[in-house]
Chain A
Amino acid sequence: MSPALVLDRVAAAYGREPVLEGVTGVVEPGVAVALIGPNGAGKTTLIKAILGLVPIVSGRIEVLGTTPEAARARVAYVPQAEALDPQFPVSVLQVVVMGRYRAIGWGRRPSRADKAAARAALDEVGLAQRAGDRFGVLSGGQRQRVLLARAVAQEARLLLLDEPFTGVDATTTDSVLTVLHRLRRAGVAVVMSTHDLSVAHLACDEACLINRHQVAFGPVEDALTPELLKATYGGAALLLDGGATVIAC
């Protein structure tokens, strides 16, 4: 089986401004990678490059054995809940069904099977009883879980999450961790950007440290060392007594 994601000396730029360079690594199916770095380090740019939404200026990205553009239908992107308009008149179930749209195809309505798949995904994140509510009335953490359920309904082979644990409650963190664990056992690869080092330890096998260029890419215990975090975050990485490192951001 081909790797879920191959990054080979990737450099990306917005216009002429280089944003990110020298990213190299391989993500196998069922493996989760934490994308770690300060704000403006290029985490979102890398995720967009994997989606084929930001052109790379050099290097190569291979997603599920093909180009990022060709792989999109099998890749699920989970945005931050705050990025979406809470006033938008859609129900929770409708948002989750959106994950099925590519499979449904143009000009056709979601079938019963699509809605059943969406309900099952909602049930997995513990929000089955909120299916009929408007998306915007849910709490931030609940909305984040709905977006994860949408990705589950999409049945993707590669999951990209943008800061899934930022500003969410403990229930949501638990729920997201449980779902990610189940998906990885089913062979789904996961790439998530995060500031939360404890979550990175809990949920991920590998970590990619970036700050405009790649500082490290490897197993969590090798990559999340005080020295490498210091190299990534500069003065914002604080070494505590006992050897733990925290990020002040």
Chain B
Amino acid sequence: MWGLFFEPFQLGYMRRALAEVVILGVLGGVVGVHVLLRRLAFLTEVVQHTVFPGIAIAFALDQSLLAGALVAGIVAIILYTFGARRVDSNALMALLISTFFALGVVVVSRRTGYQSDLTALLFGRILSVDQRELLDTLVIGVVSVVLLVVLHKELVLRAFDPLGSEAMGYPTIALDLVVNVVVMLTVVAAVRAVGTVLVVAFIVTPAATARLLCRRITPMMIVAAALGALGGWLGLVVSYEGSIHHGWRLASGATIVLVLTAGFLLVAAGRAVAVRVRRPQMAMAPA
């Protein structure tokens, strides 16, 4: 029975896929808590759409897709971080999404025979991750997590009391930029695994689940990281099992996202039940 959970990973490509999703799960969980604290879930959407033209251009020029995504992501993040101080940030995000995505479509539509790569880009191709890409993800993950750990207290203060952190003399634009760049790096790293459409789930879902379970930020990050890694592992197991033994052809990236969502729903339902069970006791307790 337990073999089910380990058998798929005797294959080299499945082992690499597992390593990739575990790193991404941990990274997404930690970053996701900051994203939720700052109510930046929509920014994650922005980045996932803005890296699209970067990848498309890099592909057209036969350059590294990661480099293309990074350049586009950096441009978008800089425009957002500085622009949000002057114009309404929601409007700015919508503008960035549509403009960058349109740019990507223009680049893509100039080429023919692009279909399969475009599908890979939109929905991910976790099973063909190679050593080199795995190393990229690891470097991005380590750099991002170290940044977040070192700047933890300043970033939490900035999220909790933006004006207060400015009043204390912190370089707030630099702190905002760090969070935005880390979100961008995480999206860029995760795009290969789950595609531009689903990447937001890696960041937001484990953190949202952890928020239901924890009252403090540090435990929340640890739980979100564990849930992200666990969801990635289970998702791979389910998609492998379904595709190999049952002929369901489950796309692995999308299956991981569904497993993460199932985890969220399970925890939310469990909490709702726990609250109901606790309530009658509270009613009986002396006032």
Give A residues with C-beta under 8 Å from B.
Answer: 51, 53, 69, 72-73, 75, 77, 79, 83-85, 88-91, 95, 98, 101-102, 104, 106-107, 109-110, 134, 154, 160
Can you list 19 A-B contacts with CB-CB less than 8 angstroms, sorted by A residue number? Answer: A51-B166, A53-B167, A72-B167, A77-B163, A77-B167, A77-B168, A79-B161, A83-B163, A85-B160, A88-B159, A88-B160, A89-B214, A90-B160, A91-B216, A98-B160, A102-B169, A104-B153, A106-B154, A154-B168
Among B157, B167, B214, the one with the most A-chain Cβ atoms within 10 Å of its Cβ is: B167
* Closest-CB distance, B54 to chain A (whole angstroms): 32
Q: Are A89 and B166 in contact (CB under 8 A)?
A: no
Closest B residue to A107 by CB, please name it: B150
Q: A209 vs B181: C-alpha distance in the bound complex, in angstroms?
A: 45
B216 contacts which of A79, A89, A102 (Cβ < 8 Å)?
A89
- Report if B211 contacts A (CB, 8 A): yes
| B89-121 contacts to A (CB < 8 Å) | none
B215 contacts which of A73, A83, A84, A89 (Cβ < 8 Å)?
A89
**How does the 8 Å CB contact mask read for B203-238 relative to A, with 1 for contact and 0 for none?**
000000001001111001000000000000000000
- Report if B19 contacts A (CB, 8 A): no
Closest B residue to A71 by CB, please name it: B169
B211 contacts which of A89, A91, A95, A134 (Cβ < 8 Å)?
A89
Q: A88-B160, A98-B161 are in contact. List 15 more A-B contacts (CB 8 A).
A: A51-B166, A72-B167, A79-B161, A83-B163, A84-B160, A88-B37, A89-B215, A90-B156, A90-B160, A98-B157, A101-B157, A102-B168, A104-B153, A109-B153, A160-B167
Closest A residue to B219 by CB, please name it: A89
Q: A166 vs B119: C-alpha distance in the bound complex, in angstroms?
A: 57
B153 contacts which of A73, A75, A91, A101 (Cβ < 8 Å)?
A101
Closest B residue to A154 by CB, please name it: B168
Q: A110 vs B37: C-alpha distance in the bound complex, in angstroms?
A: 21
Knowing A83-B163, A84-B161, the reply to whether A89 touches B220 (Cβ < 8 A) is yes
- Report if B83 contacts A (CB, 8 A): no
At the interface, is chain A mostly helix, strand, loop or mixed? Answer: mixed
Q: A53 vs B168: C-alpha distance in the bound complex, in angstroms?
A: 10
B169 contacts which of A72, A90, A104, A107 (Cβ < 8 Å)?
A72
Q: A211 vs B37: C-alpha distance in the bound complex, in angstroms?
A: 37
Q: A75 vs B150: C-alpha distance in the bound complex, in angstroms?
A: 25
Q: Are A51 and B156 in contact (CB under 8 A)?
A: no
Count class of interface residues, chain B: 20 to 34
A69 / chain B contacts, CB cutoff of 8 Å: 169
B164 contacts which of A77, A85, A90, A107 (Cβ < 8 Å)?
A77
| B20-37 contacts to A (CB < 8 Å) | 37
Knowing A77-B163, A88-B37, the reply to whether A72 touches B217 (Cβ < 8 A) is no
* Closest-CB distance, A120 to chain B (whole angstroms): 20
* Closest-CB distance, B42 to chain A (whole angstroms): 17
Knowing A90-B156, A107-B150, A109-B153, the reply to whether A73 touches B164 (Cβ < 8 A) is no
Q: A154 vs B215: C-alpha distance in the bound complex, in angstroms?
A: 25
A77 / chain B contacts, CB cutoff of 8 Å: 163-164, 167-168
A91 / chain B contacts, CB cutoff of 8 Å: 216
Closest A residue to B161 by CB, please name it: A84
Q: A37 vs B224: C-alpha distance in the bound complex, in angstroms?
A: 48
Q: A1 vs B143: C-alpha distance in the bound complex, in angstroms?
A: 47
* Closest-CB distance, B30 to chain A (whole angstroms): 15
B211 / chain A contacts, CB cutoff of 8 Å: 89
B167 contacts which of A75, A95, A106, A109 (Cβ < 8 Å)?
A75
Q: A91 vs B215: C-alpha distance in the bound complex, in angstroms?
A: 9
Q: Are B215 and A72 in contact (CB under 8 A)?
A: no
